[in-house]
Amino acid sequence: MATAPATTRSCTLLLAILLLGVAPCPVLANAPFVRPTLEHRLERLAPSANPRVLHLAARALRCAATGAQRLAVIDYSLPSTRPRLWVFDLARGRLLFEELVSHGRGSGDAQAQTFSNVPESHQSSLGLFRTLDPYRGRNGYSLRLQGLEPGINDRALERAIVIHGADYVSPSFIARTGRLGRSHGCPAVRQGVIRPLIDSIKGDQYLFVYYPDAHWLRTSTFLNCPDSSRLARN
SS (H, E, C) 119-170: CCCCCCCCEEEEEEEEEEECCEEEEEEEECCCCCCCCCCCCCCEEEECCCCC
Query: 60 vs 5, which has greater pLDDT?
Result: 60
Q: What average pLDDT score do residues 195-202 get? A: 98
Average pLDDT, the chain: 88
- The kind and range of the H/E element at 8 are helix 6-20
Describe the crossing of helices 38-45 and 51-64 by its angle, rounded to 10 degrees.
140
Instruction: Check: CB of residue 201 under 8 Å from CB of residue 72.
Output: yes
**Residue 217 pLDDT exceeds 70:** yes
- The kind and range of the H/E element at 213 are none
- The pTM of the full predicted model, rounded to 2 decimals, is 0.84
Instruction: Check: CB of residue 167 under 8 Å from CB of residue 98.
Output: no
The burial of 180, by beta-carbon neighbours within 10 Å (0-12 exposed, 13-18 middle, 19 or more buried), is given as: buried
What residue spans define the domains of the chain?
38-219
Residue closest to 131 by CA, chosen among 185, 64, 220: 64
Instruction: Check: CB of residue 204 under 8 Å from CB of residue 133.
Output: no
| pLDDT score at 164 | 98
> Which pLDDT tens digit goes with each residue over 119-136?
999 999 999 999 999 999
Phi-psi label, residue 83: left if phi above 0, alpha if psi -120 to 50, beta otherwise:
beta
Q: What average pLDDT score do residues 61-74 get? A: 92
Q: 38-219: what CATH class?
A: mainly beta
